[in-house]
Amino acid sequence: MSDPASVDARRFRVWGLIGLLILGVAGYWYLSPGGGAPPDLAAPVVQAPRQVKALGEVLPVTDLVTIAGPTGQDAGRIARIDVTEGGQVVAGQVLAVLDTEPLLKAQLDQALANEAVKRAVLAGRIADLDAQEAQLQAQIEQQQVALSKARLELDRRTTLRDSGLYEDTALSDLRFDVQSATFALRNLQIQLDRTRLRGPEGARLDEQSAAADLTSATAATARAQADYASATIRAPIAGRVLALHGRVGQQIDSDGFGLIGDTSRMMIRAEVYETDMVEVALGQAVTGTSRAFAGRLIGTVSRLGVRISTQSIMSTDPAAIVDARVVEVWITLDDASSAAVADRSGLQVTAAFAATGDGDA
């Protein structure tokens, strides 16, 4: 049987430990922020706005323009290259010349000469028809005089017949002369009307064949000019040559001769996950960073894509989603950032969009 005194002592120690524990908890709440006041369980929990990040690449504002050229077995090979990668060019500047240029130049000269011949033939035909018209008009006027003269003679002889100097049968030859002059005048007028007759295009019928030959020759010249122009590769825009795919002696393939872009103004093309687009808006501030660039790029959202597509800018993270659905977003860089990456077209960056909270900028 236990000693009552020892039992009381054990109970005292247990309650003492409990009291110390209560005092410790009360002291913790007293010393914690809030001055010992109990937490307000009814207060809502405020979550920080979520920041959207997306992969992007630095590009010229004009985007990358492919320098196209003729392709195929008959397109020729590069004979001369007049620019280097990184060089500045103006729109229309000659970049390269193909080895088909001499042959196409000769074909163009031949087409121009043929067109000149057809033009001369048409001019001669027009001159002949003009002369024919003038000649017929003169013959008509001459025949009108002859007809008038025959009628006057018939009228004079008729008057003499009425006076009893001539018999009626003596006037037969004069009547035939009037009829013959009338028929001749009518025939000349028909010939003149036919010569003046014009087709739907405004050309006289007798000059339409020559006009058609000239039209065909002009079309052949235009085609020869286009073929000749294809032998010279020119800059489609003003900017910097960012890449040259072709080399002397090679044919231009489907990749084109090279790439060109106006690097005076740079931008970021970012691919934002479709689920994150609610947090992106026009005018939103964006910061771009890259492991290959020490600085920070500052810009604003200037354009939002209207089509959802698959991701084309791939991350080096093996855990990244390679078949994600994204929307293109274009970010205009400020002057300092644009100048800093003017020589880094294609630089991969991470674009961090300023938090908007509820999706509004």
Return the pLDDT at 254: 82
Of the pLDDT bands very low, low, confident and very high (cuts 50, 70, 90), residue 348 is: very high
DSSP E strand boundaries for 70-114: 78-81, 88-89, 94-98
Q: What is the dihedral of CA 82, 88, 90, 94, to 10 degrees?
A: 10
Nearest-5° Cα angle at 287, 86 to 282? 100
- Residue 359 reports pLDDT greater than 50: no
Pair 50, 279: CB distance under 8 Å: yes
CB 304 within 8 A of CB 272: no
Angstrom distance (rounded) from CA 104 to CA 112? 12
- Read off the pLDDT of residues 182-238 as tens digits, 9 standing for 90 and up: 888 888 888 877 777 776 777 777 788 888 899 999 999 999 999 999 899 999 988
Strand 65-67 to 258-261 pairing: antiparallel
What is the rounded distance in angstroms from the CA atom of residue 146 to the CA atom of residue 138? Answer: 12
User: Distance from first CA to last CA of the chain, Å, rounded?
Assistant: 81
CB contact at 8 A, 300 and 329: no
State residue 65's pLDDT score. 86
| Phi (first) and psi of residue 163, to 5 degrees | -85, -5
Residue 29 to residue 39: CA distance in whole angstroms: 10
Least-confidence region, from 100-104, 200-204, 251-255, 257-261: 200-204
Per-residue tokens: 314:
């791939």
Sheet harboring 94-98: ordered strands across? 78-81, 94-98, 232-234
Pick the CATH number of 261-353 from 1.20.1540, 2.70.98, 2.40.30, 1.10.10: 2.40.30
Of residues 351, 329, 341, the one with CA closest to residue 265: 341
Give the mean pLDDT of the chain: 82
pLDDT score of 360? 45
Query: At residue 331, does pLDDT exceed 70?
Result: yes
Q: What percent of the chain has pLDDT over 70?
A: 80
Q: Report DSSP state, residue 95.
A: E
Which range, of 12-21, 108-117, 202-211, averages the lowest pLDDT?
12-21
Section 314-335 average pLDDT: 79
This prediction's pTM:
0.59
Q: For residue 95, give the nearest of 265, 228, 240 by alpha carbon.
A: 240
C-alpha to C-alpha distance for 302 and 285, rounded to whole angstroms: 10
Q: What region, left, alpha or beta, does residue 76 occupy, with left being phi > 0 and alpha being psi -120 to 50 degrees?
A: left
Query: pLDDT digit string (tens) for 77-89?
Result: 999 999 998 899 9
Q: Which one, of 108, 90, 105, lies nearest residue 234 by Cα? A: 90
CATH topology of domain 103-229: Helix Hairpins (1.10.287)
Higher pLDDT, 143 or 337: 337
| Residue 169: predicted pLDDT | 66
User: β-strands 78-81, 65-67: how paired?
Assistant: unpaired
Signed CA dihedral, 123, 124, 125, 131: sign only: positive
Backbone φ, ψ for residue 132 (5° rounding): -65, -40
Provide the token pair at 234. 């020119």
Residue 351 has pLDDT above 90, yes or no: yes
pLDDT at 136 over 50: yes
